[in-house]
Structure 1
Amino acid sequence: MSGGGPHLPIRVLGRASPERNGTPVSHQKLSANSSTPFLEIPCLSMRTSDLFLTLFRFFLPPVIIGTVYIYFYPFFQQCSFPEARHAEAACYFGDDAKAAVPGELAPFRLLVFGDPQLEGHTSLPEHGHAELFPSLRRLWSHVERDGLSSFTASLSEESIRFWYQDLPKAFRTYHKKLDLWGNDLYLAHIYRTIHWYTNPTHVAVLGDLLGSQWISDDEFIGRSERFWDVVFRGGKKVPSLITDASSSRAEVLGANPKWKDMVITVPGNHDIGYAGDIDEQRIARFEYMYNRVNWDIRFALNDTTIIDPASLQPSSPELRLIMLNSMNLDGPVKAWDLYQESVDFLNHKLYHDLPSADSATILLTHIPLHKEPGICVDGPFVDYLPEHQGGGIKEQNHLSMHVSERILDGMIGPERSRKAIILNGHDHAGCDVYHSKQKALDLEALQSEDASSYEDKWDAKQYARSQREVMDTSLTGVREVTVRSMMGDFGGNAGLLSAWWDKETKEWKFDYDSCMFGVQHIWWAVHILDLVVLGFGIAGVLFKVIEGLSSPQRTTELKKKKQ
């Protein structure tokens, strides 16, 4: 200590102070002629069990909070399907902050995910076929071939390879395997938790189920089995009886509760490729492990109180789901037959097989429609393969303007008033857009001298900024939701789409919301802390038992020494 004050000797009081004349030194009084005071400090001792149990008690509350949060995060974030609100619910009384008529559970609730992109062995060093610690094998081979005389020279050479080649490669391999295992469980946690909490009627994944289209059939099957057995465990393929029907299959909405556990899968570029490299073999293996790339189904509303005003007969409004392979709608293409199949399916479902006037369409596909740069994170982009590889499309962010307008025009129907919504993936950041155009053609402009310059075109805006277009009765429109990826880097997102029939306006209505879990590090951190704290508790109990067993033995030994 600094300063001019006196320095005090320190006497430490312990549990087993040495004895002098049968009395512990720490308990003896200072002699009368001693003029130097002592500062006595007790010696604190903590048992090993006390240490672990203290750590257990300290970390237990935050661990419980974290665990409860990740398993009930939809509750804490108030995630739910948008409520079905009818026209009268738009009426307000006085200064009420809520609608006068409360919402109700929508009859159609689609839980939708985008781009899980499961990786596999091809993401490991040397595609998972790397030999671990080959230096040890080579060292043993040298000894077998040349005897122990070569051991020293071989050991010097192979030890360098062991430390600088084998160990780093082994670390990368097992780190990636752990990452793949944890990523599967993270995605499975999102699906299982949000599916249990929100109680959907239908489930869909909008493409890029896997992480690469350039993988072998065995690797494709292996990743697909993880998709069904781990990530979407409990989910079932849509039966081929439904997807392979030659004509649209019709069901009563809600009549088949098994739809809740069926997973509708849409092909993406990482599943079957882009137009420049799609072939029959990729389509075949996708349809074998999942479902058809192009199919549709109709759900009729189970409500006999709805009357058609024209015929005065009971009417059953229909909701039509169209699953479209958009990967080869633009060209040049590699496989012309597959391109023609997708185009024919699109034209037939949107232009020839016209549903009733009281129907609506939900289009599920992968590639987003064309938009101007700046509206979404991914702007328009297309790249092509070199000529010697066919010159087809190598990569694209959006469908072409021509194909996009073809889809939009078909969605609203010839009368330009049908209700529809589009859900897709591909852009991992997600986007929400409203496409609008005039509901009626400008006949005067078409008959004028400047008719050639008249453009009946679609305009796209972010949905949050398009309320004027949505409310404008002179415009028709289609909402397009690009569902944010469910991968950890994008927050583990899930989309929630509700559809219901409004008896007042006599039309289908849609609403969409999303629910995000958080990055994958949250899942890892909570479960690792769970294991650590559990280890503290178990260790504390074990040491407590050991200390309890050893205490009588120590007491006996002390008694023997005193005697």
Structure 2
Amino acid sequence: MSLRRLLSRLLLGLLPLAVTTTVYLYLYPVFSGCAYPLPFDNPKTSQSTSAFFHTLKQHLTPQSTFNQDPAIVRLLVLADPQLEGDSSLPRPENELGARLQKYWNDTLESVNNTPFLANLDAWKTISAALRSLVAQDIPRAFAAQRKRLDLLGNDYYLAHIYRTLHWWTRPTHVTVLGDLIGSQWVTDEEFRRRGDRYWQRVFKGGERIDDTITRTGKEDYVEVAGVESDKELLPSSPSWAHRIINIVGNHDVGYSGDASERRISRFEKVFGRANWDIRLHHPPVGNLTPTLHLINLNSLTLDGPAYSQDIQSQGYAYINSLLDRSYTVDDRSTFTLLLTHLPLHKPDGVCTDGPYFTYFEKDDESSKERYKAGGLREQNHLSEHVSSNGVLQGIFGMSGDETAPEGGRGRNGLILTGHDHTGCDVVHSIQKKPPSLAENNEDAPPDEANDDQPAWTWNTTRYNPNAQNHDQSFSPSIREITLRSMMGEYGGNAGLLSLWFDATTSEWKYAMTMCPAGVQHIWWAVHVIDLITLVVGILYALVWVLGYFGSKLPSKRLVAADKKMK
């Protein structure tokens, strides 16, 4: 079989495969039916099909009046990209070039003034260098190049998720729920490089939210944000579609036991402030002006013992300021959306991660003083105390006390968290304690020790959309969605959250769906197929061109015969 025929058959098999897989990869939200949920009256009814066609019509008829979105807020939710870097690569002194230079210098030193051929030390040095080169240096160099390629591909894989979903779903807001990079221990220079990759490669086109918008200490952020007009901060404003709401994660600054002022400062310089909130105004509905209270909370420094007491005090001061600024719990025209990294406390077995805390056993022995003995080293959840008192009762005003405002139902809202890479969806609710034996027995002496104990406790269960008790109109409860990571090994997940104001009930409502891109191996496989197809296509074109022009040249026999005749 000729080379041209072989290449032709290869191209005939590869080209349809390459076109099909590439189209699927770059239009995966379309083929997966991903779309922001539409407002609906019955939460048990799925409207994924109508939501998909609504999104499709937005692209087919961009000027149509149909494209006025019923969900005024459409939040693209991503979590835990964890960009790796030089910490996974060989140290500079272990790079192949540096090792070769070292072997050369060692050989020159061993030679001295003795003739090279008679110098046994030089031969021993060369022999040891060759063994090390073959056994360690060359394999390490290949592994390093493979890792660099893997890092490059991972960046573009994550960028593919953001770019494709942003184009197809047209979000009004975007958030990344922490762990933007892979380690809080990196140098300032490496932190800056990963920040550049984050903005210039992964989230290219995205913008860091300006500090004038996120500054705190004011009553109404819409009016004091330092922008040209309040309209820029409306949920439907195009300016917000490209702003990235970055949440601080433990791999960005560390846990409470090693979160220092320097780490938090460098995070805020590159990615934006760690604690801030803003109130976005909905267009007036009758005599109401609904608002969305968006809270970005650094929950990493709330538990302890802390490396910096000042940072921890600032965290609690910020939560107290939230309580002063929040609207009353009976104001159902406002919605509180809490974005934070660490999930709230849950009993073991509810989600993949159960409660887990570890502490540093000794002080940092290096000169950097990154942590101290006894400081909080790692945690899977917030502590039960911080979860209940700081978040559920504090920020959301929930309580089991029926004499509390609105019966303790708390503020209407939603909690979005990251950290647990596998994801979880739960509801935190109030559970009444059963009456004690003492209360049922009139002859029993009163239990004075339990006088201050509440007659209720917190209960956490998996979210069930068909359960009535997950509706806040029936009992105090709040939903917490821990988003599955967008990393390739977790399927490149993304969340699509719709928020709208229901004029019939005068309350905000929401719905959320997930849109996974698939493991990163799919992304790699498609691009490898495309590359092979391109190479085969180029080779086929070259062989065809050479064959075409070769057929136009006279053969040797014809030339010889022509010369003989002459």
Equivalent pair of 1:133/1:170 in contact (CA under 8 Å): no
> 240, 244, 250: which is aligned to 1:269?
250
Question: Could you tell me which amino acid in structure 2 is paired with residue 188 of structure 1?
Answer: A
1:180 match: 151
Pick aligned residue for 2:17 from 37, 45, 62:
62
Distance 1:167 1:505 in 2: 69
Q: Does the Cα contact within 8 Å between 2:14 and 2:533 map onto a contact in 1?
A: yes
**Pick aligned residue for 1:347 from 320, 340, 343:** 320
Cα offset for 1:82?
Answer: 1.2
| 1:437 aligned onto 2:420 | no
In structure 2, distance between residues paired with 1:97 and 1:555: 68
The aligned runs of 1:21-100 (5 Å cut-off) are: 46-85=1-40, 87=41
Q: What is the deviation of 1:492?
A: 0.6
Q: How do residues 75-474 of structure 1 correspond to structure 2 at under 5 angstroms?
A: 75-85=30-40, 87=41, 105-126=70-91, 128-134=92-98, 136-138=100-102, 140-141=104-105, 142=107, 145-146=111-112, 148-149=116-117, 155-247=126-218, 248-250=220-222, 251-252=230-231, 253-254=234-235, 256-303=237-284, 306-307=285-286, 314-350=287-323, 353-354=326-327, 356-386=331-361, 388=363, 389-406=372-389, 407-413=391-397, 414-415=405-406, 416-437=409-430, 452=451, 454-464=454-464, 467-471=467-471, 473-474=473-474
CA separation of 1:197 and 1:467: change in aligned 2, threshold 3 A: same
Cα contact 1:434–1:479 (8 A) shared by 2: yes
Shift of 1:140: 3.9
2 CA distance for matches of 1:520 and 1:508?
37
Which residue identity does 2:490 align to in structure 1?
F
**Code of the aligned partner of 2:79:** G
TM-score with structure 1 setting the length: 0.82
**Other structure's SS at 1:391 match:** coil
Give SS of 1:75's match: helix
Distance change in 2, residues 1:157/1:381 (3 Å):
closer
CA contact (8 A) 1:185 1:231 kept: yes
Question: What one-letter code is carried by the residue in structure 2 that aligns with 1:376?
Answer: C
State the AA in 1 paired with 2:425. Answer: D
The answer (yes or no) to whether the contact 1:49–1:541 under 8 Å persists in 2 is no
Structure 2 contact 235–281 (Cα < 8 Å) conserved = no
- Summarize the Cα distance change of 1:402–1:143 in structure 2 as closer, same or farther, 3 Å threshold: closer
User: Taking every aligned residue pair, what percent have the same amino acid on both sides?
Assistant: 43
- Give, as a single letter, the amino acid of the residue that structure 1 aligns with 2:515: C
Instruction: Specify every segment of 5 or more residues in structure 1 that has no aligned partner in the other structure, as ranges.
Output: 1-45, 308-313
User: How many angstroms apart in 2 are the aligned matches of 1:288 and 1:195?
Assistant: 25
| CA distance 1:90–1:296, change in 2 (3 Å) | closer
Name the counterpart of 1:489: 489
Q: CA deviation at 1:346?
A: 1.2
SS in 2 for 1:418: coil
Decide whether aligned partners of structure 1 residues 498 and 170 sit closer, same or farther in structure 2, where only a CA change above 3 A counts: same
- Structure 1 residues 544, 348: closer, same or farther in 2, change over 3 A? same
Distance 1:230 1:472, change over 3 A: closer
Aligned residue for 1:515? 515
**Whole-Å separation in 2 of the counterparts to 1:549 and 1:474:** 82
Q: Give, in whole Å, the separation in 2 of the partners of 1:98 and 1:221.
A: 43
Name the SS for the 1:457 alignment partner. Answer: strand
Alignment length (residue pairs): 498
Aligned equivalents of 1:547, 1:398: Cα separation in 2: 68
Aligned to 2:65: none
1:541-556 paired onto structure 2 within 5 Å: 541-553=541-553, 555-556=555-556
Q: Does structure 1 retain, via aligned residues, the 8 Å contact 2:172–2:236?
A: no
Structure 1, 238-247 or 364-373: larger mean CA deviation: 238-247
| Rounded Cα–Cα distance in structure 1 between residues aligned with 2:97 and 2:171 | 49
Shift in Å at residue 225 of structure 1? 0.9
Any conservation in 2 of the 1:383–1:396 contact (CA below 8 Å)? yes
Q: Distance in 2 between matches of 1:206 and 1:501?
A: 24
User: Normalising by structure 2, what TM-score?
Assistant: 0.82
| Partner AA of 2:160 in structure 1 | H
Change (3 A) 1:510 1:438: farther
User: How big is each residue's C-alpha offset from its partner over 1:21-44, in whole Å with a ceiling of 9 and x where there is no partner?
Assistant: xxxxxxxxxxxxxxxxxxxxxxxx
Amino acid in the other structure paired with 2:221 = R
Q: Rg: which structure is higher?
A: 1
Q: State the Cα distance separating 1:558 from its structure 2 match.
A: 6.1
Q: CA offsets, 1:83-131, max 9 Å, x none?
A: 122x4x6799xxx9999xx9963100111110000111111122x5523
**For residues 155 and 319 of structure 1, do their structure 2 counterparts lie closer, same or farther at Cα, with a shift above 3 Å needed?**
same
Tell me how large the CA RMSD over aligned residues is. 2.9
8 A Cα contact 1:438 1:474, kept in partner: no
Q: Structure 1 pair 465/203, CA: closer, same or farther in 2 (3 Å)?
A: closer
After superposition, the Cα gap between the structure-2 partners of 1:361 and 1:139, relative to the gap in structure 1 and judged at 3 Å, is: closer
CA contact (8 A) 1:266 1:324 kept: yes
Q: What CA deviation, in whole Å up to 9, does each residue of 1:448-481 have, x standing for no partner?
A: 9676354322211111377131247431211100
Q: Deviations over 1:518-560 (max 9, x none)?
A: 1111111100110110110110010111122223446343674
Q: Does structure 1 conserve the Cα–Cα contact (< 8 Å) formed by 2:4 and 2:540?
A: yes
1:293 Cα shift? 0.8
Q: Contact 2:247 / 2:296 at 8 angstroms: preserved in 1?
A: yes
Tell me the distance in 2 between the aligned counterparts of 1:516 and 1:395.
Answer: 28
The Cα offsets for residues 424-466 of structure 1, whole Å up to 9 and x where unpaired, read as 1000001011111269xx9xx9xx9676354322211111377
Distance verdict in 2 for CA 1:370–1:345, change over 3 Å: same
C-alpha separation in 2, matches of 1:153 and 1:337: 59
SS at structure 1 position matched to 2:358: strand
Describe the shift of the 1:164–1:326 C-alpha distance in structure 2 as closer, same or farther (beyond 3 A).
same
Q: CA deviation at 1:334?
A: 1.3
Q: Is the 1:495–1:513 Cα contact (8 Å) retained in structure 2?
A: yes
Give me the whole-angstrom Cα distance separating, in 2, the residues matched to 1:270 and 1:168.
Answer: 29
Q: Please tell me the residue identity of whatever aligns with 1:69.
A: Y
3-state DSSP of counterpart to 1:422 = strand
Structure 2 gaps of 5+ residues are 55-68, 223-229, 364-371, 398-404
TM-aligned CA distance change 1:90 to 1:478, over 3 Å: closer
Relative to structure 1, is the Cα distance of residues 387 and 162 closer, same or farther in structure 2, using a 3 angstrom cutoff? Answer: closer
Residues in 1 aligned to 2:340 and 2:48: alpha-carbon distance in whole angstroms: 38
Deviation for aligned residue 1:157: 3.5
The one-character-per-residue Cα deviations of 1:51-108 (angstroms, maximum 9, x if unpaired) are 11221111111111110011000000011111122x4x6799xxx9999xx9963100
Contact 1:278/1:335, CA 8 A, preserved across alignment:
yes
Alignment deviations for residues 257-309 of structure 1 (CA, whole Å, 9 cap, x no partner)? 11000001111101111011111111111111111111000111113xx23xx
